[in-house]
Structure 1
Amino acid sequence: MAKLYFYYSAMNAGKSTSLLQSAYNYKERGMRPYIMSAAIDNRYSVGKVTSRIGLEAEAYLFHKEDDLFKILSEENKKQGINCVLIDESQFLSRDQVKQLAIAVDDLDIPVLCYGIRTDFRGELFPGSQHLLAWADNLIELKTICHCGSKATMVVRTDDKGNIINDGDQVVIGGNDRYQSMCRKHFAEHIWSN
């Protein structure tokens, strides 16, 4: 029986690398993974999932208005899908997480979602919130804070490297805009302001 998985972490824990490794494992066994990523994240090559260590693969880019059940159902009829892998799953809408759960249950295809749990203010992203609520399996991927403790939070920086605690929930960026921190160091910067 297929399941809905949510692999979550702070930034720089290797989520995309893990996704690409899973895709490779399916392909190596003669199976077809279907890779998706949020169209909003255009930091690297458009239409690809790219890891910081240089691995990449073609991906279908989803938008907020896309019906993911419909897309997966049609794609499965055309070529058959053995697994769905979704990068940047924090950008999924509530309805899209529901559509993925229905795809798991009705199409019997495992769906593995990879994303960040919380934003730079410590608030859940909508996609992450509903994946935490509805996924069959929750798996934390770990990274570390500058102090060596497990990083569970993310802070945003401005162009000069100063930590900021105000602004839109979504600002696309990588190491140039975000740092992963343990809760203690996150609190020193965000909760103390």
Structure 2
Amino acid sequence: MAKLYFYYASMNAGKSATLLQANFNYNERGMRTMLWTAALDDRGSGRDGGHDGERDARQVDAHAIESRIGLHAGAHRFTADTDLYERVTAAHAAGPLSCILIDEAQFLAPEQVWQCAHLADKANIPVLCYGLRTDFQGQLFPGSAVLLGIADSLVELKGVCHCGRKASMNVRVDGTGAAVSEGAQTEIGGNERYVALCRRHFSEALGR
């Protein structure tokens, strides 16, 4: 029986690299996969001059998923309106899929998480989701909250704080490196905007 998996971690803990390794393992054994990532995170699409969310929901962006260690793979991009169940089952009918891998899973809408569950339960296709658990204020992302509630398997990938403890939180910083405590939940950025910290140093950075 197929399962829904949620691999979660702080920033820079190797989520994308782990996804790409899993994808490689499937492909090496001749199994067909389908990769997805969020349309709003377009940091990997600069090679083709950017992207359009609706176009990318229908086409594969060749560098949509990239890891910090230089690995990359093409992927479809989902928006809040993408029907993942319909898209995946259509592709599965055209040629059997052995696994679905989703990067930036925290940006899934709650209904899309349920669509992933239906893919496992009804279509018997394993779905592996990789993403953040909480935002820069320590609040759950809506998609992550549903994944934590209904996924068959929860796996924490370990990041490292500057103190050597496990990094489980993400702090947003400004141009001077100071922690930011207010703002929109979603703001795309890399090491220049986010730092992974343990809970103690996250609390200290936000003055809690």
**Structure-1-length-normalised TM-score:** 0.97
Aligned to 1:9: 9
Structure 2 segments unaligned to the other structure (5+ residues):
46-50, 52-60
**How far apart, in 2, do the equivalents of 1:44 and 1:65 lie?**
21
The DSSP-based 3-state class of the residue aligned with 2:122 is helix
**How far apart, in 2, do the equivalents of 1:75 and 1:159 lie?**
43
RMSD over equivalenced CA pairs, Å: 0.9
Q: Which amino acid aligns with 1:29?
A: R
Matches within 5 A, 1:73-84: 73-84=89-100
Aligned to 1:140: 156
Equivalent in 56, 62, 65 of residue 49 of structure 1: 65
**How far apart, in 2, do the equivalents of 1:190 and 1:104 lie?**
39
Aligned to 1:164: 180
1:100-131 Cα distance to aligned partner (Å, 9 max, x none): 10111011000000000000000000110000
Identity %: 53
1:82-114 Cα distance to aligned partner (Å, 9 max, x none): 000000000000000001101110110000000
Q: Where does structure 1 differ by over 3 angstroms across 4 or more consecutive aligned residues? A: none
Q: Which amino acid aligns with 2:179?
A: I
**How far apart, in 2, do the equivalents of 1:152 and 1:35 lie?**
25
1:127 aligns with 2:143: yes
**How far apart, in 2, do the equivalents of 1:88 and 1:80 lie?**
24
Q: Which amino acid aligns with 2:13?
A: A
Structure 1 segments unaligned to the other structure (5+ residues):
none
Aligned to 2:27: 27
Shift of 1:44: 2.1
The answer to which of 124-133 and 157-166 deviates more is: 157-166
**How far apart, in 1, do the equivalents of 2:189 and 2:170 lie?**
12
**How far apart, in 2, do the equivalents of 1:98 and 1:163 lie?**
34
The answer to which of 106-115 and 41-50 deviates more is: 41-50
Aligned to 1:39: 39
The DSSP-based 3-state class of the residue aligned with 2:81 is coil
1:64 aligns with 2:80: yes
Aligned to 2:54: none
Aligned length in residues:
192
1:175 aligns with 2:170: no
**Structure-2-length-normalised TM-score:** 0.91
**How far apart, in 2, do the equivalents of 1:191 and 1:101 lie?**
39
Q: Which amino acid aligns with 2:31?
A: M
Q: Which amino acid aligns with 1:10?
A: S
Aligned to 2:119: 103
**How far apart, in 2, do the equivalents of 1:189 and 1:175 lie?**
16
